[in-house]
Structure 1
């Protein structure tokens, strides 16, 4: 089967590890990241889902040959044992890097460590041995650990203490980057001076969706890589409906490119329809994961319905809609904002992702979420 290079490695590729030249724009952010990596300063990268955080951070780090790089996605970890599962994943990555550096005897010893289904005493001893293995690993090459969707991990105090200990002992040979699909991570580690990570994470950058000009250029550049001239109505529809989110623009580019290669032409309506159907399933799954361990999940559904229908709503309006006092409503809204589902601007709340907003408005939204809980 013939490969399609532009969909495998180009701007429209789904993978989060790309050549720098295949990451559109973000020149200022690229320079910022390169500077932070060069200074070995711990930092965080925030922004709503599908703004390209993971791709940008992983690709810049991977291009810096003097570092070893470990990537871990906290979103994939089970909610009931998030920190212990993280240690297991970290252990596996450390073993892989030890073997690459021909430290196989140490890798064999680390392989026997357990963090899940064991006593606290055993887990703590295993944790100390894992930290010792990290010490050996960074003797030969500085190490970058990228933790994607970090809020799910940093909400546990055990994780914060673990990272604080690593920072105090192994900087500047160890650099940890935290990414989060939220407006900022600072409220987690800088809420007050008693937080374990307070003062240890030096900088933060936030990625925003593209504006109309860059959304257009993103699509045009991606289609040019594929040797395709798309209909202008498709570009205009994408700008109008996708909110400048690189993740959705990429998906649209992939659907349209395959349609062109198979059928010889691009049907704008069919392309948008397929994108919205596929994207809707993605965001429903994300909402279900967010709600899985939440009490009163129906309250969250009501809030989302209210905001999606009104486009933007005030605290008073939302409180009235769910029959709760403002302080209780604020708690729910803070949770939704923390996880990048809702955005607060001034005194109003919005759902910035148009795909998510349209999905929430569907009559079967609550039913589809319940199925996935």
Structure 2
């Protein structure tokens, strides 16, 4: 798989400069830590790190985005088991409620001789080998399944000595809220999550990434193209891939490719509420304090935000990992926010 392939990477051969993150994950699992959080801003490459790591251990990957019903969770777990059957067959054979036939897995979640998710993980735990159960973007799951996932994590934390749970999230504050480690009402209260952070590339690494990617494609861009992309995309590997792929495929000029990235970010920000978009616009236009944001929203949009409302909005935008301290974590989103209207 080449560097400019937009799909998540699955091996070290195609993953660029993530040795530190992979080794941190390996150390955490080798130490038997029960709960690991893999964190980083949007498009920084967390899923590629995770999928590559899971290719080197006994583990299962489940995409938790948008999960609402238990049936949806059960379907995704069963599909993930089938996709990884070649590596996981020995963990599943003989487990009550699990049928392995050819290259597929059928799980009986209800009725006679059925198994629950916690029960399935308990059976895997009995095999005596280290196993990783990974939930990607788990903070985007919704009730009632989100509560069930927290209960499974808590059960595994307390009872499954051979299972490590890895939870992944780009909305860092929301992920921490989902785990609720400091909330007495949460089943995970008082537990500890070891954090591994996937960082953006430095300017030098961004430059090397693009230059290597262009060499793989047999393309030599004119002087200045790489430097412009390095300066604009600020080490966010997903944007660098999008730019490189688009440039190689002739999808547009440098400016058109930058605009395409901003448009994509604007689509995501457009899903926020009107008041949240107002606040982001204010921050994008240079407001660097609570009072400046409130004044800008009043003068620009004619909306006087109550103090409590503004505080809640800023807190939410920080938990979504869009801003921190009145600064955007990704310059592409800053440019996109400048286009926001109510």
Which TM class, normalised by the smaller chain length?
0.7 to 0.9
Residue 332 (structure 2) aligns with: 355
Matched residue, 1:40: 32
1:72 aligns to what SS in structure 2?
strand
Q: Is the 8 A contact 1:154 1:160 kept in 2?
A: no
Q: Which has the higher helix share?
A: 1
* Matching residue of 1:307: 283
Q: Report whether the alignment pairs 1:274 with 2:257.
A: yes
Within-5 A mapping of 1:81-160: 81=68, 85-94=72-81, 100-101=89-90, 103=93, 106-108=97-99, 111-113=107-109, 129-140=116-127, 141-153=129-141, 156-160=146-150
| TM-score normalised by L of structure 1 | 0.75
For the 8 Å contact 2:62–2:77, the answer to whether it is kept is yes
The counterpart of 1:180, out of the listed 153, 169, 185, is: 169
CA distance in 2, matches of 1:82, 1:324: 36
Tell me the equivalent position of 1:262: none
Size of the alignment, in residue pairs?
321
The corresponding residue for 1:298 is 274
Task: Name the residue aligned to 1:28.
Answer: 20
- Does structure 1 conserve the Cα–Cα contact (< 8 Å) formed by 2:133 and 2:166? yes
Q: TM-score w.r.t. structure 2 length?
A: 0.81
CA contact (8 A) 1:82 1:153 kept: no
Contact 2:270 2:277 in 1 (8 A): no
Equivalent residue in structure 2 for 1:318, among 274, 277, 293: 293
Query: Equivalents in 1 of 2:70, 2:316: separation in Å?
Result: 20
CA contact (8 A) 1:95 1:111 kept: no
Instruction: Give unpaired runs (5+ residues) of structure 1.
Output: 1-8, 115-121, 260-266, 292-296, 368-373
Q: Against the structure 1 CA distance between its residues 327 and 208, is the aligned structure 2 distance closer, same or farther, given a 3 Å change threshold? A: farther
SS at match of 2:249: helix
Q: Deviations over 1:326-355 (max 9, x none)?
A: 3221111222221222x223xxx1222222
Structure 1 vs Structure 2 CA RMSD: 3.1
2:315 is the counterpart of 1:334: yes
Which residue in 1 is equivalent to 2:300?
Answer: none
Equivalent position to 1:53, from 41, 46, 55: 46
Distance (whole Å) between structure 2 residues aligned to residue 306 and residue 286 of structure 1? 17
Deviation larger for 50-59 or 127-136: 127-136
Q: Could you tell me how far 1:299 is from its partner in structure 2?
A: 0.7
Q: Which consecutive unaligned segments of at least 5 residues does structure 2 have? A: 100-104, 298-302
